[in-house]
Amino acid sequence: MKIFNGLKKACEKRPISINLIEKTVNRIELYCQEKGDREIKSSEIGERVMEELHQLDGVAYVRFASVYRQFRDIREFMDELKELLENKKEEARRK
């Protein structure tokens, strides 16, 4: 439920349906189950959420990242945005 709420908040006012958020949560849960570990670090789950959001929506990704990574200053935040933009450009070139 915590993952769902975090994703829902990050995707607020974005063109992302609740159904798509639920599918994302299901993929994250499946990933955790397939690992087969008794315990999974919350940091690993957080990184998985970040990966899913990165593919789903750039704005939602940045929103989640800003809270999850607790950027200390604007430079860290800008570095994250630059990386996101570079990845988007690279994906566009591949198409």
Q: What is the pLDDT of residue 29?
A: 94
Look up residue 58 and give its amino acid: G
- Find out whether 16 and 57 touch, Cβ atoms under 8 Å: yes
Token pair 């704005």 in the structure block, residue: 59
Residue 65: count other Cβ atoms within 10 Å of its Cβ: 23
Q: Tokens 């990933």, residue?
A: 31
d(CA 88, CA 34): 29
For 3-33, the pLDDT digits (tens) are 999 999 999 999 999 999 999 999 999 999 9
Query: Which tens digit of pLDDT belongs to each residue from 40-80?
Result: 998 899 889 989 998 999 889 888 988 877 766 778 778 87
Q: What is the mean pLDDT of the chain?
A: 88
Q: How far out from the chain centre does Cα 87 lie?
A: 14
pTM here is 0.74
| pLDDT at residue number 10 | 94
φ and ψ at 17, to 5 degrees? -75, 160
For the chain, give every domain's residue range.
Answer: 2-94
13, amino acid identity: K
Distance CA 25, CA 90 (A): 26
